[in-house]
Amino acid sequence: MKILVRNALLRSFAPGRPHTEHADILVSGDTIDTVAPAGSLPDDPQTQVIDATGHLVMPGLINAHFHSPVNHLKGSLPSLPLEIFMLYESPNLPGLKPSPRFAYVRTLLAAAEMLKLGTTSVQDDAFFVPQPTPEIIDAVMQAYADCGIRARLALDQSNLPELGKLPYLAEALPAELRNSLAAPPPADTSELLACTRHLIETWHGKSGGRLMAAVSCSAPQRVSDDYLAALDDLSKAHDLPFYVHILETRTQRVLGNVRGRSLVQDFAARGALSDRCNVIHAIWMDDADYDLIAAAGACVAHNPISNLRLGSGVMPFRRLRERGITIALGTDEAIADDSVNMWAVAKMAGLIHNIADPDYARWPQAAEVLACLFTGGARAMRQAGRIGAIAPGMQADLIMLDLDTLAFTPLNDLDRQLVYCENGSSVRLTMVAGAIIARDGKLLTIDEPALRAEARSLAAALAGAGQTEQAAAPYLPYYRDMYLRAAAADLGMLRAVPHKDWTA
Ligand SMILES: [Zn+2]
């Protein structure tokens, strides 16, 4: 099957190509076959022709960090700091255990949103409560197989009790609550590793390579040495990205200080920091931490909207860029963004760092944000040279935007208007691996009204909904004390923007 996209304004993001060009793009199977001057490629009866006159063609957006299991919970929580947010987010209540069908449907919810808005690739660092099973993993991957998005899935599971992951709590909690947090998680190390092996063996490379596995340890403080080493071995053996959340919050910086070394240093000393790593958030780090990440060649997944939603702070963008650290962009989960819209993430990445540094020469430029989105995203997925640009030999993951919209009228500066004006409403076509997945606002792979109706009824039927507040209540005062104590600690760094009177 061949598709000829004719007479587009092309922003290819391919090295060596012009910034923009008027072009025809011939797609053959799942690959970009030819990019040639507009009007120069002949069509034939076997080729489907798409007239792109008046439209921009560019690579599909890459969501480098996401967690699908809370797709049905968008908007359900107020803004709270991560440690308190997690008390409410997905407690281990029997009534919240998903059926495989529920996991399938909720996975499709955000995939549908991403595809309609032009996101063609996603890295899903999925956590399952109480634990992953082969059936649930299969349901999530089947959803990605069916909807047509390019997806990597990892299992973000801790194998340690909750108590050791947070500072101060062990001494503050009464015995009954302390004992409950000292209990091991439902699945042990061998069960968790068996699930990751199932994911790799069953799904990695399927759907013509569109579906892929990754490995996740969630965070250094959440896993034992033997589990971390086994995950790293799997990542190495199969050349898979290794997802790890490090120093998202001030409280996590305090935890490292209490233990005697930062969580980045801890992770590196345990031998797991490598160029396969996606270090997620990387906010409360010092220069030595960033030096370690740069020396290892690891990428950082930057989620500026989630970081604001949870009040985590602002990653020092320029410090990372100065060290040559690859930055990719992500939404994080749909309960902490909650729109799963990479245009909004790009805009926030293009704005938030302006208040972090008075020297405007160091503020991110639009082209730099777009480079994070495409080049950074492709590299984080270990798909550099396959996605993130439009050039012969690349995977045909592309989107077509109508330039006759308010976002681009008049067209003054394409890159700035992509970052600061577009919100996904100009996207007219989404193609993944050569297949047209969405056209003129309609998904071709999903019956969206039926999906929405089923998601509503499945969510309403969840027996555990409404019990989360009750489950969190006994812990809340202790978590709040812990959080405020960590907030008051002098860490020698600031990654937030507190109001301060000039005279104070
Ligand atoms: Zn995350």
User: How many A from CA of 281 to the centre of ligand 1?
Assistant: 8
- d(CA 45, ligand 1 centre) in Å: 47
In the chain, % of residues over pLDDT 70: 99
* pLDDT averaged over every residue in the chain: 96
pTM of this prediction?
0.97
Q: How far is the CA of 247 from the centre of ligand 1 (A)?
A: 11
Q: How many CA atoms lie within 13 A of 275 on its CB side?
A: 6
Assess whether pLDDT exceeds 50 at residue 156. yes
- pLDDT class for 502, splitting at 50, 70, 90? low
For residue 161, the tally of other CB atoms under 10 A from its CB is 15
**What integer is the mean pLDDT of 478-485?**
97
User: In this structure, which amino acid lies at residue 398?
Assistant: L
Q: Evaluate if residue 76 carries a pLDDT over 70.
A: yes
Spatial distance between the Cα atoms of 24 and 396, rounded to a whole number of angstroms: 13
Examine the pLDDT at 275 and tell me if it is beyond 50: yes
Q: How far is the CA of 215 from the centre of ligand 1 (A)?
A: 14
- pLDDT beyond 90 at 462: no
295-306 pLDDT tens trace: 999 999 999 999
What would the pLDDT profile of 97-132 be if each residue is shown by its tens digit?
A: 889 999 999 999 999 999 999 999 999 999 999 999
Q: How far is CA 141 from the centre of its chain?
A: 16
With a CB cutoff of 8 Å and minimum separation 6, the contacts of 493 are 253, 284, 286
Identify the H or E element spanning 281: strand 277-281
Residue 504 confidence (pLDDT): 42
The amino acid present at 460, given as its one-letter code, is: A
Round to whole Å and give the CA distance between 449 and 430.
19
Angle at the Cα of 268 from the Cα atoms of 264 and 269, rounded to 5 degrees: 115
Using the mean position of ligand 1's atoms as its centre, give its distance from the Cα of residue 186 in Å. 21
Distance 501 CA to ligand 1 centre (A): 34
pLDDT at 96 over 90: no
CA 1 to ligand 1 centroid distance, Å: 38
The CA 333 to ligand 1 mean position distance, Å, reads 7
**C-alpha 218 – ligand 1 centre gap (Å):** 8
Percent helix, strand and coil across the chain, each to the nearest 5: 40, 20, 40
Distance 299 CA to ligand 1 centre (A): 14
pLDDT at 93 over 90: no
State the average pLDDT over residues 450-463: 93
Q: What does the pLDDT average to over 335-351?
A: 96
Cα 36 to ligand 1 centre (Å): 40
Ligand 1 center from residue 359 Cα (angstroms): 30
Question: What average pLDDT does this structure show over 85-98?
Answer: 85
CA of 306 to the centre of ligand 1 (A): 9
Distance CA 147, CA 70 (A): 18
In b/e form, how buried is each residue of 249-283, taking b as 16+ CB within 10 angstroms? bbbbbbbbbeeeebbbbbbbebebbeebbbbbbbb
Distance between Cα 127 and ligand 1 center (Å) = 10
Reported confidence tier of residue 1, pLDDT bands at 50, 70, 90 = confident
Residue 498's pLDDT band, with cuts at 50, 70 and 90, is confident
**pLDDT above 60 (res 288):** yes
| Those residues with Cβ within 8 angstroms of residue 402's Cβ, 6 or more apart along the chain or in another chain | 54, 55, 426, 428
**137 CA to centre of ligand 1 in angstroms:** 18
Residue 461 has pLDDT above 60, yes or no: yes
